[in-house]
Amino acid sequence: MKIDRRMFLGGTLALGAAGCIPPDQAPAARLASELRLIEAEANGTLGVELFDTASGLSVGLNRDRRFGHASSFKLSLAALLLQRDAAGAIDADRHVTWSEADMIAHAPFTRERIATGATLRELARATQITSDNPAANILLRELGGPAALTAFWRSIGDEVSRLDRTEPALNDVPPTEFRDTTTPAAMARTVAKIVYGDVLPEPERAELKGWMIATETGLKRVRAGLPEGWVAGDKTGSSGLIGSEYNFVDVGFAEGPEGQPPITFACYLLARGPVETMQARAERALSQVGRVIKEFAEPEKGLPLVGKLY
């Protein structure tokens, strides 16, 4: 009797030690080991959650460990603006201005528009697509600060994610820090609720998905490992921590051929080394996660499933 993999994956996988996998090993264990091997090759700590939006099943590595958001919080920030606009609580097309005092590093949109200002919607789009830091801070100010974004997460059932500071202070997340953190398990489900759930009405979901697809910073990360023809969008983040340790983030969605369920993902890599070499290593590791997503989304072709999954 052929058993479909999704009938047997009874929830999130508990991952075993990395190593070579015998040919008759369960496909689930094969995915688990692949994630471990990606982590080992990257010489860091990899946090991953791949979430099947149709079945609710997931595959994860270090799924409940806290990682800093870096700029990945900006996806949820843009969603918060669109949600409030749809509810009539704020006008996303209201024009706002800012001053030189608001300007910090990485301001491709706000620097260009400092003389004329922009609408809140334009700021949200720039925050998502270009990761403009002043735009994110201005939006946070208009929406009620970091506590408002944390409240948004709580309102959609995310009891883990939190934002406590603004750019650039929120990037200072040493290992013992709880502020400005999330877990892969929590964020993959939050992305699913934002992109595929009822958090946003359909027009706002479509608008946000379009912004995610247009976010070119993700093209060298998870999306680089997906097969040609898949539709995907994301929000990345990168930050330097203590010494030469770096945090590379990619959260988003991936849609395969018709008939395959959309997968949301949340990936975090903490690794040490010179930034010149670490960037390439991180991109390689996250792109390899994209290949695991393909395997996770596709039904197995008659491969046996053995062992017990927790």
- Tens of pLDDT, residue by residue over 46-91, are 999 999 999 999 999 999 999 999 999 999 999 999 999 999 999 9
Q: What does the DSSP 8-state code read for residue 211?
A: H
User: Within a domain: residue 187?
Assistant: yes
List the catalytic residues: 71, 167
Contact 238, 70 (CB under 8 A): yes
How sure is the predictor about 273, in pLDDT bands with cuts at 50, 70 and 90?
A: confident
Structure tokens at 12: 């999130």
Residues of the domain holding 272: 43-297
Whether residue 307 has pLDDT greater than 80: no
Percent of the chain topping pLDDT 90: 77
Does residue 203 form part of some domain? Answer: yes
pLDDT band at 21 (very low <50, low <70, confident <90, very high): very low
State percent of the chain over pLDDT 70. Answer: 86
Q: Model's pTM, two decimal places?
A: 0.89
Quick: pLDDT tens for 169-194. Answer: 999 998 889 999 999 999 999 999 99
Mean pLDDT rounded to a whole number for the chain: 88
7 found inside a domain: no
Residue for token pair 């992305």:
191
Does 105 reside within a domain? Answer: yes
Averaging pLDDT over each range in 136-140, 243-247, 294-298, which range is the top one? 136-140
Q: What is the dihedral of CA 269, 209, 142, 155, to 10 degrees?
A: -80
Cα distance between residue 18 and residue 39, in whole Å: 9
Domain count, the chain: 1
257 lies in some domain: yes
Q: Does a structural domain hold residue 33? A: no
CATH number at residue 113: 3.40.710.10
Tell me whether residue 225 is in a domain. yes
How far apart are the C-alpha atoms of 140 and 146, rounded to whole Å?
6
Backbone angles phi, psi at 3, to 5 degrees: -110, 125
